[in-house]
Chain A
Amino acid sequence: MTDRLDRWADPPLLVLASLADQPRHGYAITQDVADTMGVRLSAGTLYAVISRLESQGLIEPLESEDRRRPYRLTAAGAHALAVQSERMSHVAFVARERLHAHRGLARA
């Protein structure tokens, strides 16, 4: 299932997450993000993100396979992804707790 990319999705985070387990090239990233995270990244968005992440030193290119160049996380990218994941986990935890309380109040 894929959703339209909207304001809930953070493309740089999706790309970092996709590269967390292994290097991937552009098409493999879009497939992985669509399959595992349910978001469709367009070519324009994907390469704008890749360019930005590469510029920030969070990902790096590997040797090109024909025209397809794989990318992998750098140590800085892995650290940034870990920090951001923690933050998101915390936000998700708080949101679930409060939703739970809200539903409890609504039933009472």
Chain B
Amino acid sequence: MSAAQTPPAASSRSGVLARAALALYPAAWRARYGDEVRALLDESGADLRTIASLAWQALPAWVWPARHLYDRPARMRASLATVLMAWTALTGLALVFAQLTQAQGLRPPGHPIIGWAYWVFDVAVLVSVLVVAAGGLPLWLLMLRSARREHRPRDIAYLLSPAVVPAMYLAAVIVAVRLISHAHGVGQWWFLGFVLLGFAAGGVSAAGPALALRRLRPRGPAVRLAARAAGIAAATMSLAGAASIVAAAGLYSWAPQYAGYHEGWPLGIYLPMVLLAAAVATVSAARGIRATRPSGAA
């Protein structure tokens, strides 16, 4: 073994940047090489070029994950966590769409494409929610039992967040609406506030089980079932998102008088958000489903 020379120590700032760059790598890669890279940076120093190179090389580590680091259960759990977050975002967007169009007490415009888009949207959302419930419940119960058996109150709290946080949010919204509503509803700024608070509540609700997945590391048939259900749920909720985009574009194009949908900017915000969440959900779900197959290497 060649003796290592003693190089200048990395400054604290570059050390922080280097560790931030290392955080960009997949968890399995970090678990395998993280200590070694940190040791190398401590010995050799971390200038900006080194940090930039380290950050840049994280991209191929994600795109072409090393076969010898491929951990199928870990891949499924990571996909489940990502799909859950993206699915929750899509569901939140779908609820906003439903609130702004279908829940206004107005008859939908007579254009057939808008009518079909509404129908596809409703069915796809319903199927997606049912699939999430059916596919996720066994895994959720498995983790809850595990957390209770091992006396892990924090994980129990994480697992209960999808029930507790939305209930708290709904209670807060109901109380607030009763206090502030007038003849024309709650007003657009209050509505925007409720929407943002709803997305925050959705994020917390989804983050709870995602953290529990990471901490409890469940394995077995329940994880495989959930990964497959996540694929169906992501696809159907993405379909609902696409249908809502068609409906919103139809309202903008063919029925601008309907409920005031003559402004283009809401669609300009809604469209990229749906596309981004749907892309994240479907790509991650596909990786999770691939990991359920015995030969599903990287």
Whether A27 pairs with B67 at a CB distance below 8 angstroms is: no
Whether A26 pairs with B61 at a CB distance below 8 angstroms is: no
CB-CB < 8 A to A55: which residues of B? 66-69
Tell me which of B36-44, B85-93, B96-104, B206-214 binds A.
Answer: B36-44
With A51-B61, A54-B68, A55-B66 known as contacts, the answer to whether A28 contacts B53 (CB < 8 A) is: no
A77 at the interface (CB under 8 A from B): no
With A31-B2, A69-B36, A70-B1 known as contacts, the answer to whether A42 contacts B49 (CB < 8 A) is: yes
Whose C-beta in chain A lies nearest to the C-beta of B29?
Answer: A51
Whether B39 pairs with A66 at a CB distance below 8 angstroms is: yes
Out of B1, B39, B53, B57, which one reaches A67, CB within 8 Å? B39
B188 at the interface (CB under 8 A from A): no
* Sample of 4 further A-B pairs with CB below 8 A, known A28-B2, A67-B35: A44-B53, A48-B57, A55-B68, A68-B39
Whose C-beta in chain B lies nearest to the C-beta of A70?
Answer: B1
CB-CB < 8 A to A47: which residues of B? 33, 36-37, 40, 57
A-B contacts, CB under 8 A, total: 85
Out of A48, A68, A70, which one reaches B60, CB within 8 Å? A48
Q: How far is the CB of A51 from chain B (nearest CB, A)?
A: 5
Out of A22, A27, A44, A50, which one reaches B4, CB within 8 Å? A27
Cα-based distance from A31 to B21 in the complex (angstroms): 22
Whether A22 pairs with B66 at a CB distance below 8 angstroms is: no
Query: C-beta contact mask, A6-19 vs B, less than 8 Å → 1, else 0?
Result: 00000000000000
With A52-B66, A67-B35 known as contacts, the answer to whether A43 contacts B40 (CB < 8 A) is: yes
Cα-based distance from A46 to B4 in the complex (angstroms): 16
Q: How far is the CB of B154 from chain A (nearest CB, A)?
A: 29
CB-CB < 8 A to A32: which residues of B? 2
B237 at the interface (CB under 8 A from A): no
